[in-house]
Amino acid sequence: MRRTWLFWCLLLFIVGSLAACGEKSQQDVLKALDEKVQTMSGYKAEAKMTLQTGTEPQVYEIEIWHKSPNYYRVNLKNAQRDQHQMILRNDEGVFVLTPALNKSFRFQSDWPQNASQVYLYESLVKDILADTKADFKATKNHYVFQTKTNYENKKMLPKQEITLNKKDLTPVKVMVMDVDSQPMLTVEFSKVEWNASFDDNAFDVSKNMTRAKLENEQEATTAANQQAAPIMYPTYELDGVKLAEEKEFTTANGKRIVMTFAGEKSFTLVQEKAHAIPTANVSTTVKGEPVDLGFAVGAMANGTLTWTYKGVDFILASQDLTKEEMVAIARSVQGKVMK
């Protein structure tokens, strides 16, 4: 009897010890994430982003630099090297650079704090901490959270799945899903360097513009000399809204296409060939907020959303559309010609 009693006592001790050394609870992980963001000096990361909003998947390479607390450099490139933009934040403000066209725009903005950013680690952690009803599970190598989103078009992309490495809470994968739980945007991280060091000019606008132009001479020549860009149509559909009119105008720089969509909510889409600026010593100041479209960074102000994609300038204007609807339409103007 005594041996049996000792056996069960020993067994309970072992089980208790294993439990104490076992999986971290959700609260343990949340605390660790908060501490990591608060104490890190910055990071460098590389990732691949895939968008499903067009007629076929669009793949982009992203390089992210962050120096705490407020310096950012996000380098966005199309896998085929026909689209290249960069977002910079330093003491002078927020800048969006398009090296192939020698263009830089300066925003008076609180980006990236104004909305979630799928490729910024601290933004993902903020979303996890903010969602008190987030789903949590632990696998062999990962922690997985399903949370609400705070993206520009969060009504259409309401939830996300964030996968973190167990060892050091490094981001592994983020899937942003639509209302039907279908992945529309996926970011897969291939490299993360914590507490990275940066050169003195790492976040300087002119230095980054010069460096990017030298690295992408072929891209710049192609974009600047592109003769005929195909007309692109939005694939995102609004109930009761149809293309009512399409006009083509000849300008000093080439052709301008103006599309008018009419119905319950009307809007106008303008597109024309973008042109490189010979010199760009001063950034153009833009009133409004930078909007991350995934494949490009646009500017939103007073019912107008502008962006550049594959050497084409786009303007989407409407007094009827919500901000989320404008972003959804803009995201769908890519890929194959649609009517």
pLDDT per residue over 122-146, tens digit each?
Answer: 999 999 999 999 999 999 999 999 9
Model pLDDT, residue 217 = 60
Predicted confidence band of residue 147 (pLDDT cuts 50, 70, 90): very high
Q: In sequence order, what are the residues at sequence separation of 6 or more whose Cβ sits closer than 8 angstroms to the Cβ of residue 198?
A: 42, 65, 67, 71
pLDDT of 206 strictly over 70: yes
Model pLDDT, residue 12 = 46
User: Average pLDDT in the 44-73 region?
Assistant: 90
Pinpoint the residues of the chain covered by CATH 3.30.200.100: 223-332
The DSSP secondary-structure symbol of 118 reads: T
Helix (H) or strand (E) holding 225: helix 217-225
Helix (H) and strand (E) counts in the chain: 6, 19
pLDDT of 56 strictly over 70: yes
The DSSP secondary-structure symbol of 230 reads: P
User: Average pLDDT in the 209-234 region?
Assistant: 68
CA angle, residues 130, 134, 139, in degrees to nearest 5 = 125
User: Average pLDDT in the 194-218 region?
Assistant: 85
User: Average pLDDT in the 292-297 region?
Assistant: 86
Residue with tokens 């987030």: 134
User: Average pLDDT in the 299-327 region?
Assistant: 91
pLDDT of 208 strictly over 80: yes
CATH number 2.50.20.10 given to 26-194: yes
Predicted confidence band of residue 336 (pLDDT cuts 50, 70, 90): low
Model pLDDT, residue 293 = 87
Model pLDDT, residue 49 = 93
Whole-model pTM? 0.82
pLDDT of 9 strictly over 90: no
- Which class is 223-332 in CATH? alpha beta
Pinpoint the residues of the chain covered by CATH 2.50.20.10: 26-194
